[in-house]
Amino acid sequence: MQERLKKIKALMLDVDGVLTDGGMIIDSNGVETKRFDVQDGFGLVFWKKCGFKSAIISARQSKVVAHRANDLQIDKVLVGVYPKIDAYKALLKEWRMKDEEVCFVGDDVVDLGILRRVGFAAAVANAVLEVKSIAHYVSTKKGGEGAVREIIELILKAQKKWSPQLYEH
């Protein structure tokens, strides 16, 4: 696993069930809200600070996701894309990267196509069995509860880039 982690240069994420707990709140006006984990957010800030690329690939269209991604300075936000594998392939080409340089974090069957290709396939603790069975790593935390941060730390520590003191400034 360590050899896989050392090659990672880009982190690509699903949203619902990964960056969130998978629940949706839709008010009587049809306005959707989601709950995101602050530690996941700081993990993504650390990731960016280390010079790595990040992307969101989601089958659902969501203004909330666009706002959160902008706040975290996610490099690429691809929402409303299905099948996700097509967006993944296009992004690989755009970034001139190879499969082995990518970590994808997913939780459901729509993520399987990407998870089967990437260098480091990660599943959150609440992922469906099909996703967990092909993942190189299953987080101890659930989506929306720090799973993304856990995976980011795992990669950065393997690459000897994790140093919390760096982020005190």
Q: Which residues of 125-158 are buried (b: 16+ CB within 10 A; e: fewer)?
A: ebbeeebeeebebbbebbbbbbbbbbbbbbbbeb
pLDDT at position 167 is 61
pLDDT at position 168 is 62
Q: Average pLDDT, stretch 46-60?
A: 95
Q: How much of the chain, in percent, has pLDDT values that exceed 90? A: 87
Q: Average pLDDT, stretch 72-85?
A: 95
pLDDT band at residue 160 using 50, 70 and 90 as cut-offs: very high
Length of the chain: 169
pLDDT at position 165 is 65
pLDDT at position 62 is 85
pTM, rounded to two decimals: 0.94
State how far the alpha carbon of 89 is from the alpha carbons of 31, 59, 83, 118, 141, in Å: 32, 15, 11, 11, 28
pLDDT at residue 169 tops 60: no
Element housing 55 (H / E)? strand 53-58
Q: Average pLDDT, stretch 46-54?
A: 94
Residues 6+ apart with CB under 8 A from 68: 19, 34, 36, 41
Q: If you count DSSP H runs as helices and E runs as strands, how many of each does the chain have, helices first? A: 7, 8
pLDDT at residue 99 tops 80: yes
pLDDT at position 75 is 98
Catalogue all structural domains in the chain, each as residue range(s) with its CATH number.
Answer: 2-22+33-161 (3.40.50.1000)
pLDDT at residue 92 tops 60: yes
pLDDT at position 2 is 92
Q: How far apart are CA 69 and CA 89, in angstroms?
A: 20
pLDDT at position 166 is 59
pLDDT at position 41 is 95
> Beta strand 10-13 with 53-58: parallel, antiparallel or unpaired?
parallel
